[in-house]
Amino acid sequence: MDKEGFQDNLKKRTKDFAHRCVKLALTLPKTDLGNHLRRQLIKSSTSVASNYRAACLAQSKSDFVFKLSIVIEEADESCFWLEFIVEEKLLKVSQVAGLLEEGGELTAIFITSRKTLKNRQSEFETSCKLRIK
């Protein structure tokens, strides 16, 4: 899969993740805690998708890495809220398991991408320094 296909796939996955989290959040009880967790989960999960789209439009590799870091934080936060919902017994594990798995996979993909980009950037900087000498 080429870079564009990879990005399109991740755009779709992150958007689907956001939609699924929103649907799940809307099933939470209408209590103070349920309302708080609903807002938090919707905010963090939709941020994964919107910030990944923004990262794809980055003006430089360093800007992309920076924006990808935000995506990682938001994906991990979404997983936190999903875990918390189960721990508070607001929903069953079976209702949340698929989203937790997808959130974990997305987080892992973005962490790996960030590491790869950082390594390539430092390799480029090293090779440039060697040529200058």
- End-to-end CA separation in angstroms for the chain: 38
97: helix, strand or coil: helix
Domain borders along the chain are 3-132
The pTM of this model reads 0.87
The pLDDT tens digits of the residues spanning 47-87 come to 999 999 999 999 998 899 999 999 999 999 999 999 999 99
Which among 4, 82, 86 is positioned nearest to 48, based on CA atoms?
82
pLDDT at 132 over 60: no
pLDDT score for 121: 61
CATH of domain 3-132: 1.20.1440.60
The pLDDT tens digits of the residues spanning 86-106 come to 999 999 999 999 999 999 999
